[in-house]
Structure 1
């Protein structure tokens, strides 16, 4: 890879994905790469949709990095050398491309931590450890067993890292999906404390988004689950991406169940859902065994105990029927 080559970084919109993208962008720029572009997918967060492929093509990349969005045997942009860096269950890698996967590691690190560790061998990234720490805290919690996070908490305090993490996550959860605002906030501040206390336009937008999500969460928490076998279904209708948070909250309250939190209001005409469990069932295998009919939509990617999907209404009803719910 030559410094003058156009490089595109396609990364997820959650805190881990955004921080991974920003860390890699800064590291490559410090090494000397002058044509680095970041691209964040739309609300479907699927790198292989035509819309997201077109966004990547518009940057005219000669090299492509795909961070925290999974991996498949189908190329995203045929003919463009691609490196996938990820912690989800791999589903293949295109011929000639590269996959750096942490799926089999114990413990499994998050993607921004992997990126930060990889970049350490290229250039000094010690001053942006707080950015990777935000991604780590978001995905794995403040007690994640990694030295970088422990050092970052001692340098910046857990308080400011937690506050910054909540702000960075808010931009993709709010009804007005603007994850690039979170990236700009990371790029224009030098520490989590500075970001949290900032009066910049970007941080003001993050605070507004956070309050919106808080209100939506309070409303969604009033919904009660319904049951079919060992599956608990919690339904909501919100333009905010709160279904993962609701699924996570019920996960600990219903440890013997597979929890599905379904949101009819996130994308019009679709149901987006998150699946979580503490019951020991591999949710990737569980969803994969449902064997839905062919057609548009995606589901069953991610982690062994955390997955989800996005389906048109008709196919969502098919999924419910296969689970034993009365549609």
Structure 2
């Protein structure tokens, strides 16, 4: 049995929701469709699956990726989307919030993150709440499978699933699908592709190009498509930055450990995961003052089975300017102006932090 194609009418999303989303795609024959996926491997795999299916239907496609620190509700990204002049939009793996994405443009949103807010007038296909929750790539694969020859594209769903949930995730038929795709090749390809967006060069567009050219995970790991050498360079940079920034000394307040450092690479989630292994009873906040100018980007992780989004939202805080407490219950974070971040850390019990503690510092760890 192919991954995700179990015949269960309630999984990975209700059959009627899948059918409605499929009708949306079929209505785009001979039209211009803009596909906008998230830049991690789950999002990129979703994007490639959608692009290939939409092209099979005879539509013309354009793809656009959010920039560093952007998502589907970032005004600058929305402006770029609106300038394409497409007749329909498919947004993948970028969560859901209130407010339009591109006003007046027929839109399908495919996602797996829990949310209670959805853009008005947008068709939503979500696997959230349908256990086990399928990542966006697996949901997209189930969506497009009747529109394509599904077997040759299964590896893309495997890639996104392993990237988001790990190779041992309790999903139906993942073990067999991973064997078909090649476990070693999949895990290596995931690391290479994720390094592209984490690199200070933010090479997500290169990762998408590599994934579009490849016919298997082994095509990537064995360098059979152009661009893999550049992905390897990105991975080396990210590995070095993780090792450097993870040396930042932790500050402790109660059961929260705060690490402050500065890097142009998106290493704060990886540093948070590393320190969660060291301090398994703590909530880890890895804060990067060098990722975006004037902002502190931070990742929150814990080995404890905690709802970290709820933990952040239950703090006694005024409304923030910036991003805060989105994502997954056990993998969240935010992006705040430095002044707002200091208010946040004070609410957590970290007293005495100053503006110079969260300044961008080039290559020097905080």
> If the length of structure 1 is used for normalisation, what is the TM-score?
0.95
Provide structure 1 residue ranges, at least 5 long, that are not aligned to the other structure. none
- Provide, for residues 212-265 of structure 1, a one-character-per-residue CA deviation record: whole Å limited to 9, x for no partner: 111111112222321112211122211111111111122233232221111111
Match of 1:63 in 2: 88
Moved over 4 A (4+): none
Q: Quote how far apart the aligned CAs of 1:148 are.
A: 5.0
> If the length of structure 2 is used for normalisation, what is the TM-score?
0.85
Does residue 7 (structure 1) correspond to residue 38 (structure 2)? The answer is no
Q: 1:199 to 1:155 in 2, by over 3 A?
A: closer
Does residue 193 (structure 1) correspond to residue 204 (structure 2)? The answer is no
Q: 1:322 to 1:285 in 2, by over 3 A?
A: same
User: The residue matched to 2:186 in structure 1 has which SS?
Assistant: helix
**Structure 2: distance between partners of 1:206 and 1:261:** 25
**Structure 1: distance between partners of 2:110 and 2:225:** 32
1:30 to 56, 59, 65: 56
User: The residue matched to 1:85 in structure 2 has which SS?
Assistant: strand
Q: How does 1:232-247 map to 2 (within 5 A)?
A: 232-247=257-272
User: The residue matched to 1:310 in structure 2 has which SS?
Assistant: strand
Match of 2:356 in 1: none
Q: How does 1:306-325 map to 2 (within 5 A)?
A: 306-325=331-350
Q: Quote how far apart the aligned CAs of 1:292 are.
A: 3.9
**Structure 2: distance between partners of 1:36 and 1:243:** 34
Q: 1:291 to 1:298 in 2, by over 3 A?
A: farther
Match of 1:128 in 2: 153
Q: 1:148 to 1:209 in 2, by over 3 A?
A: farther
Asked if the contact 2:158–2:181 (Cα under 8 Å) also holds between the matched residues in 1, the reply is no
Q: Quote how far apart the aligned CAs of 1:9 are.
A: 1.5
Asked if the contact 1:90–1:101 (Cα under 8 Å) also holds between the matched residues in 2, the reply is no
Asked if the contact 1:129–1:148 (Cα under 8 Å) also holds between the matched residues in 2, the reply is no
Match of 1:110 in 2: 135
**Structure 2: distance between partners of 1:317 and 1:80:** 39
Count of aligned positions: 326
Q: How does 1:216-295 map to 2 (within 5 A)?
A: 216-290=241-315, 292-294=317-319
- Provide, for residues 37-64 of structure 1, a one-character-per-residue CA deviation record: whole Å limited to 9, x for no partner: 1111011132112111012112222221
**Structure 2: distance between partners of 1:322 and 1:81:** 42
User: The residue matched to 2:137 in structure 1 has which SS?
Assistant: helix
**Structure 2: distance between partners of 1:228 and 1:290:** 14
Q: 1:22 to 1:235 in 2, by over 3 A?
A: same
Asked if the contact 2:49–2:153 (Cα under 8 Å) also holds between the matched residues in 1, the reply is yes
- Provide, for residues 295-318 of structure 1, a one-character-per-residue CA deviation record: whole Å limited to 9, x for no partner: 531111111111111111111111
Q: Quote how far apart the aligned CAs of 1:100 are.
A: 1.6
**Structure 2: distance between partners of 1:149 and 1:290:** 38
Q: Quote how far apart the aligned CAs of 1:159 are.
A: 0.7
